[in-house]
A = this chain, B = another copy of it.
Amino acid sequence: MSSNPYYGQEGHGPYETIRIGNLELEEGGHIPDCALAVATHGTLNAAKDNAILVTTWYSGTSKIMEQVYIGKGRALDPAKYFIIVVNQIGNGLSTSPNNSVGAQAGPTFPKVRIGDDVRAQHKLLTEKYGLKSLALVVGGSMGAQQTYEWAVRYPDFVKRAAPIAGTAKNTEHDFVFAETLSEAITSDPGFNGGKYGSPADVAAGLKRHAKLWTVMGWSTDFFREGRHKALGFDSMQAFVDTFMTGYFAPMDPNDLLAMAWKWQRGDVSRNTGGDLASALGRIKAKTYVMPISHDMFFPPSDCEVEQRLIPGSQFRPLKSSCGHLGLFGVDPELLAQLDANLNELLAAPVN
């Protein structure tokens, strides 16, 4: 399994690859020399209290996080904050099936959990940057799973938390959705148990996977309003074939499967013997819970149930017919709501 040029600096940089050494894994085994791909923006102040961690979602890298969240005049402004975007393990940039060699290459890559990512990130932030706290952890979807895990696992470290379009404990419904995504890939004969030559061998499975994302990622209102056409596609067919299929086609199937497996099992209550209320009750971060109104698999109803268990938290749904993939940043009104909430959260006093 050779490295895939899709994940290189040209498409997703600049990022720095930082080795954090051995990472023990919750499922057993370890990654001997774990590499985290990191992009930073802005400067750490002398007090080291202006650091923000941005986590990444399924299939996303530090590049789209920069495009969606970060910039002059945005809530995450590099002029004010030291913003650290850490690519999740398995996303193709950090240690992943695609870029591993030997006993952990491709389909033999070990099972990695959200908790493993968060411990790896904690090691990075404390050892590489000498941080003792984060002003904010923010992320969408699987990035929200990491955000919740951070706030539960390191309650004194995380001063503010902004989980967007994600849950602290994955639902049974969402588990099955992610399973349909994985099986769209693994059912392709070209997948060959993970021993394909290149993503092109799995093109049919990746296209079915893209169609499932078309159904669950946006919303029927998005399409009824013709928002896919406003993005420059003549028809639904063009949107599916060009945008959605084209987005996923170059990605490494084993990487996607590693992330989907992790997503299915996101659950902060693993820290408290299965007691979700107890886990969320630990959170000291000032927390704004931000689902997206039309999200079909991390819907507001699931997020609100959890928000009520977080002390002092606020429920701040973002209204957008884009649904879950409003995360892509295609709806300026969603971004405006997001920034207003983040600005307010960042201005809020914390302990």
A residues touching B (Cβ–Cβ < 8 Å)? 171-177, 179-180, 183-184, 187-189, 204-205, 208, 211-212, 214-216, 218-224, 236, 240, 296-297, 299, 301-302, 305
Contacts and interface: CB of A to CB of B under 8 A. Distances in A.
Contacts of A183: 208, 211
B171 A223 contact: yes
B187 A204 contact: yes
Nearest to A219: B173
Given A187-B187, A187-B204, A211-B183, A224 B171 contact: yes
24 contacts: A171-B220, A171-B223, A171-B224, A172-B223, A173-B215, A173-B220, A174-B220, A175-B236, A176-B214, A176-B215, A176-B236, A176-B240, A180-B211, A180-B215, A183-B208, A187-B208, A215-B216, A220-B299, A220-B301, A220-B302, A221-B301, A224-B301, A224-B302, A224-B305
Contact of A296 (B180, B218, B224, B296): B296
A184 B305 CA distance: 33
Nearest to A299: B220
Nearest to A212: B180
A277 B202 CA distance: 43
A289 to B, nearest CB: 16
Contacts of A180: 208, 211-212, 215
Contacts of A177: 215
A215 to B, nearest CB: 5
Contacts of A302: 220, 224
A188 B219 CA distance: 28
Which of A179, A204, A215, A216 has the largest number of chain B CB atoms within 10 A?
A215
